[in-house]
Amino acid sequence: MSAKHSRLTPVMLDEGLRLLFPVAAIHGALWPLLWTLFYGFGLPLEGAIPASQWHAHEMIFGTYGMALAGFLTTAVPEWTDTPRRRGQDLLLLVWLWLPGRLAGLVGADALSGIAGLTDSAFLLVLAWFIGRPMLDKRSTRHASFVFWCLAFAGTEIGIRLAWLGGDMVLAGRLINAALAVFLVFFSLSVARINVVVINKALDPSGETSPYRPHPGRQNLAAGLVALYLAGTLALPDSLAPAFLALAAGAAFFDRLAEWFIGRAVLRAEVLGLLGANLLAGLGFFVIGLAGLRAPFAPSTGQHLLSIGALGLAVMSVYAIAGLLHTGRELDLPRQAHWALWLMLAAALTRSLPELGIGEGLIGPHYGLSAVLWAAAFGAWLHGYLPLLRAPSMGTGDG
């Protein structure tokens, strides 16, 4: 091992986001390209499990699951003022996460059971990693993240059991439930992140905190997404999920009032979070209207949520935390701007043709969206990997 490599490796293992964000980004950049450019949207070992379910599962539990681990292992120690997980703890998460990604890459039905065990263990270990500091501090302030991490693990177990039992309809419902669980994570996280980002945009010096969030908005969207999730599982064939989806969409649109902050809203890090909430509202509206027999496909709304809302949210967190937790000012490099625009383009390319805008792209829009999605993660890696591999520039990490 070279001297340079031996110096850099411990830095990557010093904090969750330094290792786990790049791992998730590499997965997000490579897997869709392999599926679209080399496999032609199929999978080499595809069997009873549809390729579409493998793809959705890998996006949610693969790319986003590891991004969630990077966020929580970094944020929870900061919120609870406890030592952060580093070194072997972070490597354990990677090794538990990896088998599922290899099985998902080729669609290996025979390995689904083993991959399900490791994926479930990954999420349960993550729940322990974030729950232990709260137990030590005897604090329940952030306990909702532990609950939803366990719920995320529950959907993973359910999906794998449905696949093993050959019930692809149930598996599809549970994949959509997992997407809803991640949207709860998104809503709860943005309620915290947005306070920091908007205050820095309004006063970069950090000497004042002119922005205060509306307390009624902090948990409303998350609560309504949770109700929608319950409705889809308990009453999947009724109109209840459609009306609950419209309510969740309205809650996300209501949150847009938090971005009425004047010219500061034009900063890229602010626009990224605004766009994520806007696309969440649009996605839930499309799902709700589709459920009420409007001429839309529910999958279009689901892609507005998965690629659009969550894609922009994850990329915004990557861009913001990648600077603040390496001791840098919140001045996004050009690669972060490109990553955000490419992610938005991926979401719109995938969704708008199915809503009657640019219908001539239907067909090629699948591959084009996948390439734009991969390019977004590639742009972030290009700009941020050198920052994450280098020691922090400040006295603290954010």
Q: What is the pLDDT of residues 121-163, one digit of tens each?
A: 999 999 999 999 999 988 888 899 999 999 999 999 999 999 9
What are the extents of the domains in the chain? 3-389
Instruction: Categorize the per-residue pLDDT at 191 as very low, low, confident or very high, splitting at 50, 70 and 90.
Output: confident
CA atoms of 78 and 193, how far apart (whole Å): 12
Rg (CA), the chain: 20
Say if residue 397's pLDDT is above 60.
no
Instruction: Give which of 75, 35, 77, 302 is closest to 189, Cα–Cα.
Output: 75
Please tell me which of 121-130, 260-269, 357-366 the model is most confident about, judged by mean pLDDT. Answer: 121-130
Mean pLDDT of 358-371: 87
**Which tens digit of pLDDT belongs to each residue from 84-112?**
999 999 999 999 999 999 999 999 999 99
pTM over 0.85, yes/no: yes
Q: Which residues have CB under 8 Å from 51's CB, separation 6+? A: 35, 41, 42, 43, 107
**Which tens digit of pLDDT belongs to each residue from 315-344?**
999 999 999 999 899 999 999 999 999 999
Is residue 377 within 8 Å of residue 319, measured between CB atoms? no
CA atoms of 100 and 343, how far apart (whole Å): 25
CA atoms of 62 and 66, how far apart (whole Å): 6
**Whether CATH 1.10.760.10 fits 3-389:** no
Task: Compute the half-sphere exposure of residue 58: CA atoms within 13 Å on the CB side of its CA.
Answer: 29
Instruction: Categorize the per-residue pLDDT at 394 as very low, low, confident or very high, splitting at 50, 70 and 90.
Output: low
Mean pLDDT (the chain) is 92
